[in-house]
Amino acid sequence: MVTYLPGYGFGLLKRWLCKSQNQLIHLYNNPKHMAIRTLLLTGALLVSSASFGQQKGYYRTPTLHGNTVIFTAEGDLWKYDINTSLCSRLTSDDGVELNPAISPDGKTVAFLGQYEGSTEIYVMDINGGVPRRLTYELTNGQLISGWTKDGKILYRSKGNTVLPQPQLIKLDPANLKKETLPLWQASLGSFDDEGALYFTRFPNQGSKTKRYKGGLIEQLWKFNGRQEATSLTGDFDGTSTSPMYYNGRVYFLSDRDGTMNLWSMDKNGKDLKQQTHSKGWDLQMPSLDAGRIVYQKGADIYLYDIAADNEKLLNINLVSDFDQRKPKWIQKPTNSISFSDVSPKGTYVAIVSRGRLFVSPAKSDRWVEITRKSGIRVKDVHFIDDKTIAALSDEGGEYEVWKVNADGSGEARPITKGSKVIISSFAVSPNGKYIAYLDKNDVLRIAETATGDIKFNYDKSYGGINEISWSPNSTFLNISQNLENLNAQINVIDTRSMKMTPVTTSRTNSYNPA
C-alpha cells in the first residue's frame, strides 16, 4: 500500500532525491518533517521494488510497430513501449510463443504458438486476449515473414506443397484463404510498393556455423510476378538473408565483414551500403517499421534508426518470477547421467550427471563428487587406471582433457593444452599410455597421457571420422572415416610407428571397428 500525502507529489519527491545526501539526512531526522520522512521511506521502497522486481532476460524474435516492440522471453510474448520503457507479458502458455509480427494497423499480432501441440500460426489483440488459431498444417519449419499492406500474413511452410522445400504463402486471417506464391523455393520475403518480392530460397541451414558458405547458403532474389526470379547477391559467397523493403532500398543481414550486420542495396542489388558495424555478436531476426529496425544482438534487442544512422540498446526489464532461475532439487540424478565409464578392474564407475563428475564403487550407490569447484562442467570421462580418471572439462576456460585422481584428492592436471577447436570425444588406451581425441574440425590426435605431447596428427579426413577404438593391447587405434564416395573406410594407426593404414576397401561401407 502506498500512503497518499496531500501536498507532496512524486515530482517533489524526485527533486528531493536529487538533493545532496546531507540535505536528505537533515530532512529525515527533523521531527518537524514526519510527512517528508514517510514519503522518503515510501519512495525508497518503490525504487527498491522497481530495482529488484525488474531484471534482464534473454530476448529473441523482436517485431516493431510505432513505439511498440513485441518479443519472446521465457518462452512467452512480451510487449515493450519504447517511450515509457514499460514491459508486460502477453502470453503465458506452457509451450513456446515466438516469431511475432504486428499488423499494419497496429491492432493485431500474429505469432507461432504451441497451444494445441504442434507449432501453428495464431493471432491475438496486441493488448492481450484469447489467441485464435489460423493454421492446421502439423509441420515443422513455419516462419512468419510479416504482414502485407492489404492485411495478409506472409509465411513459409511445407504443409501446402508436395515439394521437399518450403514455399511462401499469403494467408488472409479474416477468411483463412491461402495463396501460395508461384516460386519453387522461398523462405523469407518482403514486398516493395510495386508488388515485387525480395526473398531467400532456402531456410537457414541450422548449424550456426560461422561464415557458412555451403550448398544451403541464403541469398537474396527478386521476383516481379512476371519473369523468372533474378539473383541480387550472387556475387557474394556468404550469407545474405532477412530482406526488408523500405523507401526504395532493401535492407538485409549479411556476414560480408565477418559478422552478421545490417546492409542495404537498391532494388536491383546495386549501391551496397553497410548500415551497422557489430563486432563479435551476430545480428538476428530483424524487423522494420517506418524507417526503424529492431533486431536481436546477443541477449538484447537493439533499435536502429535508418535516417539518423545509429543504434541504441532498448532497456528492457522483465517483471517476472524467473522460475527457470530458481534452484531445483534433483530427485533422481541417475536420470541425468550423460557419460559413464567402468574402471579397468571393474571396481569403480565414473559418472557425469548434469556436467558434474562422480565416482561410485561398483557395489554401492554412494556417489563421491570429484569436481567440487563451482562453475566447472565435464562432458566425457574415461578411466586411465583404477586410481586415475581422464575427463573432458572446461576447468581452464576451454574444454581440454584433464587428469584427476579417482578419489578426488589432489589437483586436476591438464593433458591436452592450447586446443583451438572444441574437443568432441576421446578414448584412453587400455594401458593408459595414450589418449586419442577428436575435435569439431574432425582432426584426430594421439597424445601421451604422461606429458600431453602430440605423437600423431591427422587432418585429411574428407567427410569426418565416425568412431575411434583401441585394440586390447593398446598397439593399434582403429578409426572409421567417411570418404569422398560417401563410403566409410576403416583405418588402423600403429602406435609403434604412428603410421595409419587402410584395412578395408573404399568400394564398400565399413564402420564400427572393434
Query: How do the residues of the chain divide into helix, strand and coil, expressed in percent and rounded to 5?
Result: 10, 40, 50
Every domain of the chain with CATH number 2.130.10.10 lies at 330-502
Every domain of the chain with CATH number 2.120.10.60 lies at 60-321
User: What size, in residues, is the chain?
Assistant: 514
Q: Kindly give the confidence (pLDDT) of every residue in the chain, 514 residues in length, as a single tens digit, with 9 standing for 90 and above.
A: 333 333 333 333 333 333 344 444 444 455 545 555 554 444 544 444 444 445 889 999 999 999 999 999 999 999 999 999 999 999 999 999 999 999 999 999 999 999 999 999 999 999 999 999 999 988 888 999 999 999 999 999 988 777 778 999 999 999 999 999 999 999 999 999 999 999 999 998 887 778 888 888 999 999 999 999 999 999 999 999 999 999 999 999 999 999 999 999 999 999 999 999 999 899 999 999 999 999 999 999 999 999 999 999 999 999 988 888 888 888 887 888 999 999 999 999 999 988 999 999 887 777 888 877 788 899 999 999 999 999 999 998 899 999 999 988 888 999 999 999 999 999 999 999 999 999 999 999 999 999 999 999 999 999 999 999 999 999 999 999 999 999 999 999 999 999 999 999 999 999 888 8
The residues, ordered by sequence, that sit 6+ positions from 362 with a Cβ below 8 Å of its Cβ are 342, 346, 347, 348, 349
Assigned CATH topology for domain 330-502 = Methylamine Dehydrogenase; Chain H (2.130.10)
Helix axes 21-29, 34-53, angle to 10 degrees: 130
CB–CB of 504/487 below 8 Å? no
Q: Which class in CATH covers the domain with range 60-321? A: mainly beta
Neighbours of 95 (CB within 10 A): 16
Grid coordinates representing 296 are: 536481436
Q: What are phi and psi of 11, to 5 degrees?
A: -65, -40
CA 267 to CA 210: how far, in whole Å? Answer: 28
What integer pLDDT is reported at residue 23 of this predicted model?
A: 45
Q: Is the pTM of this model over 0.75?
A: no
Grid coordinates representing 259 are: 559478422
Nearest CA-CA partner of 316 in 74, 46, 67, 78: 78
CA 396 to CA 415: how far, in whole Å? Answer: 11
CA 320 to CA 152: how far, in whole Å? Answer: 33
The residues, ordered by sequence, that sit 6+ positions from 106 with a Cβ below 8 Å of its Cβ are 65, 66, 68, 126
Buried b (16+ CB within 10 A) or exposed e, 441-474: ebbbbbbebeebeeebebeebeeebbbbebbeee
What integer pLDDT is reported at residue 312 of this predicted model?
A: 96
The residues, ordered by sequence, that sit 6+ positions from 407 with a Cβ below 8 Å of its Cβ are 359, 368, 387
What integer pLDDT is reported at residue 334 of this predicted model?
A: 82
Please report the sign of the dihedral spanned by the C-alpha atoms of residue 153, residue 155, residue 159, residue 165. Answer: positive
What integer pLDDT is reported at residue 5 of this predicted model?
A: 35
What integer pLDDT is reported at residue 35 of this predicted model?
A: 54
